[in-house]
Chain A
Amino acid sequence: MNTTSFELAVLRPAPGDATDVPVAEVRGEVDISNAAQLRGSLAGLATGGLVVDLSEVGYFDSAGFAVLDLLIGEGVLAVVVAPGSVVRTAMTLMDLPFHDTVDAARAALSRG
């Protein structure tokens, strides 16, 4: 693919499980050219709370972090980052909260 593109792999909760939230794993790349697309995709998934897993993302820049900032601010998103990754360092610089595991992110969302 010649232009910036990402994929979302979404793990949805089991039917009838009201306590669980979907987990969206972001793969590929997010920059200013497709950040709006990410925002649309995540906003649609995040209505009841969403875990976004950036552990496997290839490239994710300030435009992507701006999208996460918005949804984190609305209280509907918790982000997982890989330890020792530049994504983790970047989120610290952006003053955005993050979690080491999906379970920790889920727990943070259920605490509200």
Chain B
Amino acid sequence: MLLLYTDGLIERRGEPIDAGLAGPEGYADDVAMVAVRPCGTTATSHVDTLPAAFSEMAAARRRLGGWLRRLVPDQEQADRILLCAGEALVNAIEHGSDRDPDRAVTIEAFAEPDAVTVSISDTGGWAKDSGAGRAEHRGRGLTLIHGLADRVETARASQGTRVTITCRRPLPDSTLPDSTGRAPVTVQQ
């Protein structure tokens, strides 16, 4: 996250600029703040941020899917990773962000030699499900994620929840056992 701000945020009359944020008398000058979360795609990484709204999911999936298809030649495997990510995205929007489009959900995907990891982060605690229908629906999504992914890790903190999905993939052909005959290292469960 990159935070840019004008000196109005930290300048107080009669005090050196490095005295810090405004005190009880308020701000002496106009304050402008811009927070920037990097988004971008490389050959081995894809970072994306979207407003927490269901209407944003198709475009986010398209962006992630494009990266996955370039990276993973096997269509079923690319589709599997995308479905896991899509289910986690629904949870992050619905339960982690209360479907508030002013809040953001972040996708961070990385390609490792033998796996692809996708982390979906939201900014809130998961509210209790209201009603049996919601719980059942969420249960189906989690069943899919856990059934399709090789590993699922959930990290909950006060600033939000982060679900990391790992899907193993075959090593590229160029990665052969070395001259000692040892096989390449595989991801431990």
Contacts and interface: CB of A to CB of B under 8 A. Distances in A.
Interface residues of A, number: 22
A66 B76 contact: no
B118 interface: no
**Residue among A32, A63, A94 with the most chain B CB within 10 A?**
A32
A61 B58 CA distance: 12
Contact of B58 (A4, A63, A93): A4
A89 B94 CA distance: 25
Contacts of B55: 2-4, 33
A1 interface: yes
B144 A61 contact: yes
Interface stretch (B21-29, B121-129, B135-143, B175-183): B135-143
Contact of B90 (A2, A32, A65, A84): A32
Interface residues of B, number: 23
Contacts, number: 73
Label chain B's interface by main secondary structure. helix
Label chain A's interface by main secondary structure. loop
A90 B55 CA distance: 23
B184 to A, nearest CB: 25
B46 interface: no
Interface in B71-117: 76, 79-80, 82-83, 86-87, 90, 94
A61 B76 contact: no
Interface string A1-39: 111110000000000000000000000010111000000
6 contacts: A32-B54, A59-B83, A61-B144, A65-B140, A90-B144, A94-B143
Interface of A: 1-5, 29, 31-33, 59, 61-63, 65-66, 84-86, 89-90, 93-94
